[in-house]
């Protein structure tokens, strides 16, 4: 990891760069594949699955028989762990439900807001060397709580054309409607346009590599919403003298092993701790099964020494990490001043991997600095808010004049007329009632 000592704020943007390609670098490839999927459907999906995953798939849809076989292959121990995590995720996301909000803004003018589920959602689950069945929990559980009608899941097959049994077991457990053996750009394209086999969806969720991230962004040009631009994983740790160096190193490596394009950063005010963490990383790295992957990520990573906590928090907010671990005697200072982070982990005994699996929070989070403007996935991600209003005769009389004046000043006469006709109708009714009384 590169050591950086007391960097000046004007250099932060350069030293905090992510090791990712730009949209422009990948866009041409995505557009080419999207165009072919749009015109050729399943044929194009199978072509690119063969090209990128090295496997020819005849039936893209996972069958019930495959799901039944997978369930038998998952150990009882793993099933118990998955169920524990599912319970905690359900608790946390169920607590995010909100009731209908109703307010009478003016006498006779009642407005309210209700939430409705997004009817068709697509979940992208990375596969490859680390099949992320935990991401199935993070996406399918809140989708079910939101009561989405159709939950489509796409995940890349292995070299034998199969899906990891834990992914199939978890997807079935969480009520996924259909599971398809496709990954990468072709999966995003299929859920965007729909094919003979794969339904189109209204919103696509899930993390992925740089190609998946760009594909999701381009999908928005075709009327499909996305959760966020979620790309390669990243972690920033702030630690002071209260931190355990071996814990910090283990957290940094836990993200580094995700992929060669992951990035991890340590920020500290203590050079002694910086050096201790560096030694621990080398010690722990040597025994990791995914050592080669982690080593490549470490090349893109930084150990940064700053002078003060204030400087540290400003640097953290500038970086806007996907995951932020804070271990500090001045915990309250950091909690009060952190503005930009996807998910925050506090104290020596709160590893980032707890959020990845079983604490209950969601691990699908904004990366690449998008934590400055995006939230992580939550229950509301699977819902949309709808507003309603009902105005009585008294209500239109109370706000009608204001509407007429505003519409006239914007030059929108039809808007004004829609109110004027109603007000005149009410006046006429009042005149007629007066005559009848007389």
Q: Is 415 known as a binding-site position?
A: yes
Q: Is 217 known as a binding-site position?
A: no
Q: Is 363 known as a binding-site position?
A: no
Q: Is 93 known as a binding-site position?
A: no
User: Given 234, 280, 322, 352, which residue is catalytic?
Assistant: 322
Q: Is 209 known as a binding-site position?
A: yes
Q: Is 323 known as a binding-site position?
A: yes
Active site residue 322: yes
Q: Is 356 known as a binding-site position?
A: yes
SS3 track for the chain:
CEEEECCCHHHHHHHCCCCCCCHHHHHHHHHHHHHHHHHHCHHHHHHHHHHHHCCCCCCCECCHHHHHHHHHHCCHHHHHHHHHHHHHHHHHHHCCCCCCEEEEEECCEEEEEEEEECCEEEEECCCCCCCCHHHHHHHHHHHHHHCCCEEEEECCCCCCCCCCHHHHHHHHHCCCCEEECCCHHHHHHHHHHCCCCCCCCCEEECCCCHHHHHHHHHHHHHCCEECCCCCCCEEEEEECCCCCHHHHHHHHHHHHCCCCCCEEEEEECCHHHHHHHHHHHHHHHCCCCCHHHHHHHHHCCEEEECCCHHHHHHHHHHHCCCEEEEECCCHHHHHHHCCCCCEEEECCCCCHHHHHHCCCCCCCCCCCCHHHCCCCCCHHHHEEEEEEEEECHHHHHHHHHHHHHHHHHCCCHHHHHHHHHHHHHHHHHHHHHHHHHC
Active site residue 323: yes
Q: Is 410 known as a binding-site position?
A: yes
User: Given 234, 257, 323, 352, which residue is catalytic?
Assistant: 323
Mark the binding-site residues, compressed into ranges. 124, 186, 209, 233, 255, 258, 323, 356, 410, 415
Which residues are identified as catalytic? 322-323
């Amino acid at each position: 990891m590169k050591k950086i000592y007391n960097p000046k704020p004007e250099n932060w943007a350069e030293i905090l760069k992510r090791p990712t390609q730009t949209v422009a670098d990948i866009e041409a490839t995505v557009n080419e594949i999207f165009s072919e999927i749009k015109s050729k459907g399943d044929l194009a999906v199978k072509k690119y699955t063969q090209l990128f995953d090295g496997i020819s798939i005849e039936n893209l849809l996972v069958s019930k028989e495959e799901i039944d076989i997978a369930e038998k292959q998952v150990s009882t121990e793993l099933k118990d762990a998955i169920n524990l995590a599912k319970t905690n995720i359900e608790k946390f996301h169920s607590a995010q439900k909100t009731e209908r909000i109703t307010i009478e803004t003016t006498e006779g003018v009642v407005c309210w807001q209700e939430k409705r589920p997004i009817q068709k959602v697509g979940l992208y689950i990375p596969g490859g060397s680390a099949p992320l069945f935990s991401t199935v929990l993070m996406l399918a559980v809140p989708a079910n709580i939101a009561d989405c009608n159709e939950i489509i899941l796409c995940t890349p097959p292995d070299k034998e054309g199969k899906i990891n049994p834990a992914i199939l077991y978890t997807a079935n457990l969480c009520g996924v409607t259909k599971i398809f053996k496709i990954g990468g750009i072709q999966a995003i394209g299929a859920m965007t346009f729909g094919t003979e086999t794969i339904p189109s969806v209204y919103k696509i969720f899930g993390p992925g590599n740089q190609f998946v991230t760009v594909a999701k962004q381009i999908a928005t040009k075709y009327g499909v919403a996305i959760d966020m631009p979620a790309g390669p994983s990243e972690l920033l740790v702030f630690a002071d003298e209260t931190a355990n160096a071996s814990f910090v190193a283990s957290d940094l490596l836990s993200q580094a092993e995700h992929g060669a394009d992951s990035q991890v950063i340590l920020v500290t005010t203590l050079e002694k701790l910086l050096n201790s963490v560096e030694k621990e990383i080398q010690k722990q790295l040597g025994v990791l099964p995914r050592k080669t992957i982690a080593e490549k990520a470490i090349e893109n990573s930084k150990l940064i020494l700053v002078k003060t906590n204030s400087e540290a928090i400003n640097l953290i907010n500038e970086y806007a990490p996907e995951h932020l671990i804070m271990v500090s005697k001045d915990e309250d200072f950091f909690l009060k001043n952190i503005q930009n982070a996807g998910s925050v982990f506090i104290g020596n005994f709160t590893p980032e991997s707890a959020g990845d699996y079983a604490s209950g929070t969601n691990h699908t989070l904004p990366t690449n600095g998008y934590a400055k403007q995006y939230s992580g996935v939550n229950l509301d991600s699977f819902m949309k808010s709808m507003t309603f209003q009902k105005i009585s005769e008294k209500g239109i009389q109370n706000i009608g004049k204001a509407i007429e004046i505003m519409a006239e000043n914007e030059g929108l006469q039809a808007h004004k007329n829609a109110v004027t006709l109603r007000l005149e109708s009410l006046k006429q009714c009042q005149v007629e009632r007066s005559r009848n009384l007389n």
